[in-house]
Structure 1
Amino acid sequence: MSGTQLALGVRLRDDARWANFHGGRNATAAGMVRNACGDPAHPLVVLCGDEDTGKSHLLQAACHEYEQRGQSAVCFSLAELEPLGPDALSGVEVMDLVALDDVHRVLGKPAWEEALFHLYNRARDLGHQVMLTLNDTPVRQSFVLPDLRSRFQEGLLVQLGTYRDDDRITILRLRAEQRGLVLSDEVAGFILRRSSRRLGALLAILDQLDENSLQAQRRLTIPFIKSVMGW
């Protein structure tokens, strides 16, 4: 694998680990992904769900798992690879785990589908694993290559559901607790009412509050949040 490809690999977030995935309704799905890590019975794992379901977190957690075992792993975002063309996937099968995020972006494009098909076959022949994310199940995707559709449908399918508000509040509180912050249900509900409900946006707000709380108490209050966020 070339240095250019390594540079394009997603830099793994240190907090994107199993222990930090407070899945709510997706806890069972997370367990399926973790159990499949390195399992030769599952050369392909397909994670399906909307944008805000934690798919990328689970991909990165799987990469961390491999690295902790002393094995190689790489995670690519198709949003970054797409402008470079399908040749960007050449040779990546040498990694023990190849994780591909947002693969639906290139489905329906013959050259990309051909590259994905051959990448998977080469990785499987080497005894390596491919994990990928889609915004919907393979049966609902538009393929031009029937063989690729067949491969995707044979993979271990892990379906993630959209978080409910109580899931988001639980995740916010647990992530705050890990940072040594005290976040009550009342304050978490206030944040949810005033911000985007996307989990990524909520956690970004928590990052901002964490930085500012170093100069204040570690208990997050509504007046403090109003002052930091300008609400």
Structure 2
Amino acid sequence: MGEPVVQEQLPLRVSLRDEATLENYHGEHNRQGLARVRQILAAPEPAVTVLCGGSGAGKSHLLNALCLAAEAQGDSALCLSLSEAQHLPAEALLGLEQFRLVCLDDLQALPADPAWEEALFHLHNRVLDAGGQLWIGAPAPPATMHWQLPDLASRLKAAAVIQLRSPEDDDLLHLLQARAASRGLELAEEVGRYVLRRAPRDTGSLLELLAQLDDASLRNQRRLTIPFVKTVMAW
């Protein structure tokens, strides 16, 4: 007689994809910065804004959230990381002014090439001439960075700068707990702090880790406990 077939219980939760929104950007210490972001986004006039901050401050989160918010309002938007530009010609920036909102992340990764600086300079001007908004993510204000093209340097130095602080442990814990709750997961404080002691500190890595734990929890029908997290992550 064969082994009885055991039907696996279907999980009650579904795995959800995290989306960066203005509403789920966490960090009490960046509340004023977020308010300024919303204010500029809602303004009808053209604008150039630089989001500055260290790793984990949420620059990429906000840039992606801005695109989602603009699209929700019926505007066209594009988010591009300049770290992807290393193997592209400077002409890759041509035509981007067709978008109402253009978000460029990782300004520090702009290739050290006069052609790229000139391309960014002209994109800056075309976006403003078209009545759009240009948002840039950078680890430091453009005024502190070295530029070969004086015209680009002067344009970027004139941009509005919003300084974002890197999150404290409590901010990251609240972020993880809120995202876990949105997935139907309960993340106890001691489990969250255990994760923070061992995981990378940037928001993107933490949310990827949470997605991995969510999948494991669904497959195994297990709650998130320290022993379970330790096993899943091989810590």
Contact 2:97 2:127 in 1 (8 A): yes
The one-letter code sitting in structure 1 at the alignment partner of 2:117 is E
Once residues 223 and 35 of structure 2 are traced to their aligned partners in structure 1, the CA distance between those partners, rounded to angstroms, is 32
Matches within 5 A, 1:21-100: 21-41=25-45, 43-100=47-104
- Residue in 2 that maps onto 1:181: 185
Give secondary structure in 2 for the equivalent of 1:75.
strand
Give secondary structure in 2 for the equivalent of 1:83.
coil
Contact 1:36 1:42 in 2 (8 A): no
- C-alpha displacement at 1:92, in angstroms? 0.8
Question: Which of 123, 126, 140 does residue 127 from structure 2 map onto?
Answer: 123
Contact 2:46 2:128 in 1 (8 A): no
How many correspondences in the alignment? 219
Q: TM-score, normalised by structure 2?
A: 0.86
Q: TM-score, normalised by structure 1?
A: 0.87
Question: Which of 199, 211, 226 does residue 195 from structure 1 map onto?
Answer: 199
Once residues 88 and 112 of structure 2 are traced to their aligned partners in structure 1, the CA distance between those partners, rounded to angstroms, is 17
- Residue in 2 that maps onto 1:224: 228
Once residues 179 and 14 of structure 1 are traced to their aligned partners in structure 2, the CA distance between those partners, rounded to angstroms, is 9
**Same amino acid, percent of matched pairs:** 46
Once residues 131 and 226 of structure 1 are traced to their aligned partners in structure 2, the CA distance between those partners, rounded to angstroms, is 39
Contact 1:107 1:143 in 2 (8 A): no
Give secondary structure in 2 for the equivalent of 1:29.
helix
Give secondary structure in 2 for the equivalent of 1:19.
coil
- Residue in 2 that maps onto 1:9: none
The one-letter code sitting in structure 2 at the alignment partner of 1:140 is T
Once residues 88 and 42 of structure 2 are traced to their aligned partners in structure 1, the CA distance between those partners, rounded to angstroms, is 29
Moved more, 188-197 or 111-120: 188-197
Matched, 1:159 2:167: no
In structure 2, relative to structure 1, the CA distance for the partners of 1:22 and 1:215 (3 Å cut) is: same
- C-alpha displacement at 1:68, in angstroms? 0.7
Matched, 1:214 2:218: yes
Superposed structure 1 runs of 4+ greater than 4 Å apart? none
- Choose between structure 1 and 2 for higher RCO, CA contacts under 8 A separated by at least 6 residues: 2
Structure 1 unmatched ranges of 5 or more: 1-12
Structure 2 unmatched ranges of 5 or more: 1-16
- C-alpha displacement at 1:80, in angstroms? 1.4
- C-alpha displacement at 1:43, in angstroms? 1.2
Contact 1:49 1:159 in 2 (8 A): yes
- Residue in 1 that maps onto 2:12: none
Moved more, 177-186 or 213-222: 213-222
Once residues 108 and 194 of structure 1 are traced to their aligned partners in structure 2, the CA distance between those partners, rounded to angstroms, is 35
Task: Give the root-mean-square deviation of aligned CA atoms.
Answer: 1.8
